[in-house]
Amino acid sequence: MRPLPRIAAGFLAALALAGCASASHDTGPVDMTRDIDALMRDYDGHVPGASVLVVRDGVPIVRRSYGFADLDGEVRATPATNYRLASVSKQFTAASVLLLMEDGKLRLDDPVRRWLPSLPAAVDAVTLRHLLTHTAGLIDYEDVMDPASDVQVHDADVLKLLEGQPRTYFAPGTGYRYSNSGYALLSLVVERASGMRYADFLRTRIFEPLGMRNTVAFEAGRSTVAHRAFGHTFQQGRWMRTDQSTTSAVLGDGGIYSSIDDLVHWDAAIREQRLLKPATWAQAFTPATKTDEADVQYGFGWRITGETLWHSGETVGFRNVIVRYPARKLTVVVLTNRDDPEPYATAKKIAALYLD
């Protein structure tokens, strides 16, 4: 296990200089933050909010929040607000698998049935690598859930649902289909290979070592979310709390809560190639497959588009994105507790303010 991240003097100075304006916290040139305010104007006021992080050359130059983390409770969003990351969580699931690979506990080309033997014979040829890259052809668990049930499913329930599916969409490795099922199964593989509960593995092997002290794979009745944002949807002319759905308890595909202040540490670990070996990070960021978007390829928990590594996340009441420009040493994160609009285009416009 590598030591805690070395927080640069510039980082500490940036935090010390963070001011407050219109329920926002920021660093960096005033003209830039004004431009960001203009891009984020729909999130300001008495509405579900957002938090924006810009990291340049390893220093968080913008930490800015808008609107409310909890409309009902009248709680404003801050840089410490923790949002449900949805599919942005997948990069942490992938990192967990890669940590266990480095530990010698598993191989990426292991058949998934080595770890989850109750899966049907139809997935005999599916490997962990296929799951990581959405090339397994697994049936979407959301499509085979009981539509009349209001009981939340968990990762183990996803396994049970897939046990009864004697087919795949295509032969493993011959196509691409984005798969929440695959990442739910990966969380179970992490548990069996490590001998730890998935949420505990994340905490002890990733979050605590990196100083992500308030990031959590949330389990109702077992853990809590500090400074929690609640999801919202615009319905019948007003914002309504829509924080949970029947799939919100599945951890491997989207159950992590985090803040822009904690994601600074995650970005630093990637940039400085800590937590994992440089060669392992390189595997995660190497295009493994084309996707259903012409300009997008997929690695291990990351989309790859030109010079960017990115991933979005969407679930009931939340939409988020992280966009990294490794060669430019720039990262933009936008976390929101509403399901509209999608923030990817906004994050790229924010990034454009800092790119030559």
Largest distance between two CA atoms of the chain: 60
What one-character DSSP code corresponds to residue 121? Answer: G
pLDDT at residue number 14: 43
pLDDT at residue number 30: 61
- Structure tokens given for 167: 């087919």
Q: What is the pLDDT of residues 145-168, one digit of tens each?
A: 999 999 999 999 999 999 999 999
pLDDT at residue number 28: 54
Query: Domain residues of the chain, as ranges?
Result: 9-87+211-352, 93-194
pLDDT at residue number 2: 36
**What is the torsional sign of CA 280, 281, 283, 289?**
positive
pLDDT at residue number 295: 97
- Structure tokens given for 336: 């929101």
C-alpha pair distances (Å), 153 with each of 56, 83, 215, 246: 39, 20, 22, 6
Which residues share a beta bridge with 290? Answer: 297
Which residue stretches of the chain have pLDDT < 50?
Answer: 1-23
pLDDT at residue number 93: 98
List b or e across 149-179, with b for residues whose CB sees 16 or more CB atoms inside 10 angstroms.
eeeebbbebbbebbeebeebeeebbebbbeb
CATH topology of domain 9-87+211-352: Beta-lactamase (3.40.710)
Class of domain 93-194: mainly alpha
Q: Using DSSP, state whether 38 is helix, strand or coil.
A: helix
